[in-house]
Amino acid sequence: MSGFGKKIVVTGMGTVNPIGKSIEEYWKNLINGESGIDRIRAFDPTGFPVQIAGEVKQDDLSTLIPSSLPACPTSPLPHRTVLLSLAASGQAILAAGLDPRNWNPQRVGVYLGVGIGTMDFPAHATAVRESFDNGDLLVPRFMKGIEKQGRPYLETELDTDPTLDAISMGWNIEGPQSISLTACAASAQAIGEACYWIGKGMVDIVLTGGSHSIVDPFGITGFGHLTALSTRNDDPKRACRPFDKDRDGFVLAEGAGTLILESEEYARARGAEILAEIAGYGLSTDAYRVTDPDPTAESPARAMSNALRMAGMSSDQVDVVNAHGTSTQANDRVETMAIKKVLGERAYRVPVHSIKSMTGHSIAAAGVLEAIAAIQTLSEGVVPPTLNYQTPDPDCDLDYVPNEAREIAAKMVLSNSFGFGGQNVSLAIKEYMPC
């Protein structure tokens, strides 16, 4: 019996991210070691200490929403986070062979990992500047400035709900909906929690995963002040180098990914192609610091062990670790320790890789992009490389699949997502085997 109450399977996937606007393009670029990191396009970063990011090079994201699906209502908040999610979820629905016009909307749910939205920074800054009089901020003048700009939804620009609302309205979903806000672990946690919904019989289908786009002055400034970002502005493609001795921080990115989850019974009854099984889900919290992982690595190791325990599997059955691998000094060192704690001596023989070396770090959406890569590894028999691994670090001494993809016959992948604040999630993703 599955730890979720039922065997939970994946029947469809979709993604839009810096190296792919479809599953096929994403996978091709992953295994070929193509980086999506470049100088920032969303705004002029001149003068910023950090001037690079992973962006989806598409100005009008609405054109990526599959046209063969019923038309989506226009969102009053055309944030990139919202549009990225609509595009990825539309792809996943089509891939699963589903049609929102024909399903029972009350038996379909949405569980997403989403971060804060993107504010119209120039417009906001203009309104603030024009609100001062002899050094004093006049709030009524600020309010009038916002009204003059025609921004009636200002109060929700940084909210997370518009993404859920757009998915539910766009795809005819009336079942439960929820959001995970656990930073970099958000979409991985959403996937795990969505499995319980199906296991408990609350729904038949869940659209899960995540979306996030904060490549803006606030996002760059905020993470930059934490000294968490790489400052290799002169060499963007080589900036993100997980587990390398000379790593100097992660690269902020945007992206979205969606999985369609169903019970095995429901999927087989409708004749769906089953891509993989979400077999286990582990959670833990460091309770240490907001920005630094617990240096003992006990908590992330516990999340990994809990995922294996739920899956009914031992550490000997782990074939690949899809690492959180951010390219920060602390994360990569601690994650390496955690893997050793869980796998023991086998840790040195199990491939460990980080896709962030190519995609950058899309924060709330990172976990689902990694889950998709894990599922592709199971089906295609290839582990993507960790790009830019050049100088070994004595504290990071595992097999990180440096710079070139590798063929492997994998049956199970552990996919890790560790968030700011110490939230740790690990997913045990298995090759699907019929009962």
Q: Are 19 and 29 in contact (CB under 8 A)?
A: yes
DSSP-derived secondary structure for 318-371 = --EEE----S-HHHHHHHHHHHHHHHGGGGGTS-EE-THHHH-B-GGGHHHHHH
Q: How, if at all, do strands 132-133 and 136-137 pair?
A: antiparallel
Of 190, 134, 162, nearest in space to 75 by CA: 162
* 210 within 8 A of 204, measured Cβ to Cβ: no
Cα separation values, 125 from 102, 132, 133, 137, Å: 46, 12, 15, 13
Catalytic residue among 79, 324, 353, 396: 324
Instruction: Provide the 10 A C-beta neighbour count for residue 238.
Output: 16
Is 225 an annotated catalytic residue?
Answer: no
| Residue among 61, 92, 40 at smallest CA distance from 368 | 92
Sequence-distant (6+) residues with CB within 8 A of 89 are 14, 167, 171, 207, 209, 256, 258
Residue 361 annotated in active site: yes
Q: Which of 79, 212, 361, 396 is catalytic?
A: 361
C-alpha to C-alpha distance for 240 and 246, rounded to whole angstroms: 10
Catalytic residue among 72, 184, 195, 240: 184
Tokens 């050094």 -> residue:
135
Tell me how far apart the alpha carbons of residues 108 and 25 are, in angstroms, rounded to a whole number.
Answer: 28
Measured CA to CA in angstroms, residue 292 lies from 212, 289, 306, 366, 398 at distances of 22, 5, 22, 18, 22
- For 405, counting Cβ atoms within 10 Å of its Cβ (0-12 exposed, 13-18 middle, 19+ buried), the class is middle
What are the φ/ψ torsions at residue 107 (nearest 5 degrees)?
Answer: -105, 15
Query: Would residue 212 show up in a list of annotated catalytic residues for this protein?
Result: no
- The total number of residues shown for the chain amounts to 435
Burial class (CB in 10 A: 0-12, 13-18, 19+), 154: middle
How many other C-beta atoms can be found within 10 angstroms of the C-beta atom of residue 316? 10
Contact 173, 108 (CB under 8 A): yes
**Active centre residues (catalytic):** 184, 324, 361
